[in-house]
Structure 1
Amino acid sequence: MKNLIKVEELAMFLLSMYLFSLLDYAWWVYLVFILTPDIGMLGYSVNTKVGATAYNLFHHKGIAILIGFAGFWWQLPEMQLAGIILFGHASIDRILGYGLKFDDNFKHTHLGNL
């Protein structure tokens, strides 16, 4: 099952790269911003509850899709970029086994324990 999830997440990551290619940005922009959603981990410097909430906010694919669609709807390239980056980053994390966090421990995720 874990391999099937990884293949599915790889397909979503490739989708994010395709959607990015539709934007008018150089490819280095994708590479520069793909790790920015990890800024959500700074919440763990407060406590695990704040950390999990912040992390999940920056790694939730539903939020990424809403931001991306809003950007396409309103023709806002920066918002389109943000949604695509959030979506692609979340897919990379899922491939690596990092899921959305429970508030008791950073290693306790919806995909199991790290």
Structure 2
Amino acid sequence: MERLLETPAVTGAPRVFLRAEGVALLAAATAAYGLTGLSWWLYAILFFAPDASFAAYGAGPRLGAMVYNILHSTVGPAALAGVGLLLDSPIFLGMAAIWAAHIGFDRMLGYGLKYASGFSDTHLGRIGRARAGA
């Protein structure tokens, strides 16, 4: 049984702005991907790849949240984009753009970084059927 989150989540206008940031990240990263000249099939195939991190929840919520957060933080795609720029590598740049677009998509939908208390507890609020305040 999941323990309910005791830490308050973002609410009100800041929550709206964070979701708008998600829309902006999704749009900008998708546009950046288009500039790489790579196949849109690659974009479609890899778009949901970060969600494979859900499997880590099989080992418990603490490890699940840690793996999910690593793959759903903008630090990873930013670092990969930096490597892509240094190496002048369209594939690294494209993969970074896909990764960032996925993160933007999740934030737009309200899926935030996870707390170790359970998958449903995020920095953007509780997700799922038993939402906070529902």
Q: Normalising by the residue count of structure 2, what TM-score does the alignment of the two structures yield?
A: 0.79
Structure 1 vs Structure 2: percent identity of aligned residues?
Answer: 27
Q: Which of 72, 78, 83 is matched with 1:65 structurally?
A: 78
List alignment gaps of at least 5 residues for structure 1. Answer: none
Separation of aligned partners in 1, 2:88 and 2:54: 30
Separation of aligned partners in 2, 1:95 and 1:70: 27
Q: How many residues align?
A: 114
Amino acid paired to 2:126: N
Deviating above 4 A after TM superposition, structure 1's stretches of 4 or more consecutive aligned residues are: none
Amino acid paired to 2:37: D
Q: Which of 49, 53, 69 is matched with 2:62 structurally?
A: 49
State the Cα distance separating 1:11 from its structure 2 match: 1.2
Aligned residue for 2:112? 99
Q: Within the alignment, does 1:113 sit opposite 2:126 as a pair?
A: yes
Aligned residue for 2:4? none
Bigger relative contact order, structure 1 or 2, given CA contacts below 8 A and separation 6+?
2
Q: Which of 102, 112, 121 is matched with 1:89 structurally?
A: 102
Deviations 1:37-95 (A, max 9, x none): 10111100111111011111111012211111211211223322221111110110011
Q: Within the alignment, does 1:75 sit opposite 2:94 as a pair?
A: no
State the Cα distance separating 1:4 from its structure 2 match: 2.9
Aligned residue for 2:28? 15
List alignment gaps of at least 5 residues for structure 2. Answer: 1-12, 128-134
Aligned residue for 2:10? none
State the Cα distance separating 1:7 from its structure 2 match: 2.2
CA contact (8 A) 2:30 2:101 kept: yes
Q: Decide which structure has greater helix share.
A: 1
